[in-house]
A and B are shown apart, each in its own frame.
Chain A
Amino acid sequence: MTAVARVKQHLIDPEICIRCNTCEATCPVGAITHDANNYVVDAAVCNFCMDCVAPCPTGSIDNWFMVEQPFTVDDQFGWNELPPRPAEGATESLEAIEDEASALLAEAHARAGGRARAPATASKPRINLFNRDNPAIATVTGNFRITAADAESDVRHIILDFGTVPFPVLEGQSIGILPPGTDAAGGPHAMRLYSIASSRDGERPNTNNLALTVKRVREPRDGGVFQGVASTYLCDLKLGEKVQVVGPYGATFLMPDDPDADIVMICTGTGAAPFRGFTERRRRTSSTVRGKLLMFFGARTPQELPYFGPLQKVPAGVLDKELVYSRRPGAPREYVQDRMRTRAGDVAELLRRETTHVFVCGLRGLEDGVEQAMSDIGRQYGIDWPALRARMLEGGRYHAETY
Chain B
Amino acid sequence: MLEGMNVDYDGLIPNNVGLSEDLRVRKALETWHPGYIDWWRDMGPEGFQQALVYLRTAVSVDPKGWAKFDYVKMPEYKWGILLAPAVEGRTIPFGKHKGEPVWQDVPGEYRAMLRRLLVIQGDTEPASVEQQRHLGATAPSLYDMRNLFQVNVEEGRHLWAMVYLLQKYFGTQGREEAEELLRRRSGHQDTPRMLGAFNEATPDWLSFFMFTYFTDRDGKMQLEALAQSGFDPLSRTCRFMLTEEAHHMFVGETGVSRVVERTCEAMKAAGIADPADIEAVRKLGVIDLPTIQKKINLHFSLTLDLFGNEISTNAANAFNAGLKGRYREDKLADDHQLLGDTYPVLRLVDGKIAEEQVPALSALNMRLRDDFVVDAAGGVSRWNKVIEKAGFAYRLTLPHVAFNRAIGEFSAVKADTMGNILLADEWAAHKDDFLPSADDNLYITSLMQPVHETGAYAGWIAAPKVGIDNKPGNFEYVKIHE
Report which A residues bind B (CB closer than 8 A).
15-16, 18-22, 25-26, 36-37, 50-52, 54-55, 57-60, 62, 80, 121, 123-124, 126, 129-130, 164-166, 206, 257
Contact = CB atoms under 8 A, between A and B. Distances in A.
B465 interface: yes
B472 A123 contact: yes
Given A20-B246, A166-B64, A206-B70, A121 B472 contact: yes
Given A19-B378, A37-B378, 18 more contacts: A16-B254, A16-B465, A18-B246, A19-B375, A20-B220, A20-B249, A21-B246, A22-B243, A36-B374, A52-B63, A54-B64, A54-B65, A57-B247, A57-B249, A80-B385, A165-B59, A165-B64, A166-B67
A166 B470 contact: no
Contact of A165 (B60, B375, B471): B60
A80 B375 CA distance: 17
Nearest to A28: B63
A55 B465 contact: no
B1 interface: yes
A260 B357 CA distance: 67
B111 interface: no
Nearest to A259: B474
B163 interface: no
B63 to A, nearest CB: 4
B394 interface: no
26 contacts: A16-B465, A16-B466, A18-B249, A18-B250, A19-B375, A20-B246, A20-B249, A22-B243, A36-B378, A37-B378, A54-B64, A55-B243, A57-B246, A58-B250, A58-B254, A123-B470, A129-B64, A130-B64, A164-B59, A164-B60, A164-B65, A165-B60, A166-B59, A166-B64, A166-B65, A166-B68
B66 interface: yes
A25 B242 CA distance: 10
Contact of B63 (A19, A55, A80): A55
Given A16-B465, A26-B63, A123-B471, A165 B246 contact: no
Contacts of A62: 470
Nearest to A15: B465
B379 A18 contact: yes
A392 to B, nearest CB: 21
**Majority secondary structure, A binding face:** loop
B59 A257 contact: no
Contacts of A54: 63-67
Interface in B34-84: 59-60, 63-68, 70-71
- Interface size class of chain B, counting residues whose CB lies under 8 Å from the partner chain: 35 or more
Given A20-B249, A20-B250, A55 B472 contact: no
Contacts of A126: 470
Nearest to B239: A25
B64 A124 contact: no
Contacts of A15: 465
A126 B471 CA distance: 12
B288 interface: no
Interface string B243-261: 1011101100110000000
B68 A59 contact: no
Given A18-B253, A57-B246, A57-B247, A257 B472 contact: yes
A390 to B, nearest CB: 26
Contacts of B378: 19, 36-37
A166 B68 CA distance: 6
Contacts of A19: 375, 378
B76 to A, nearest CB: 13
Contacts of A123: 470-472
Contact of B9 (A21, A58, A124, A164): A164
- Count chain A CB atoms within 10 A of each CB in B60, B220, B247, B381 and give the residue with the most: B247
A48 B242 CA distance: 23
B293 interface: no
Nearest to A52: B63
B197 interface: no
B70 A57 contact: no
Contacts of A164: 6-7, 9, 59-60, 65
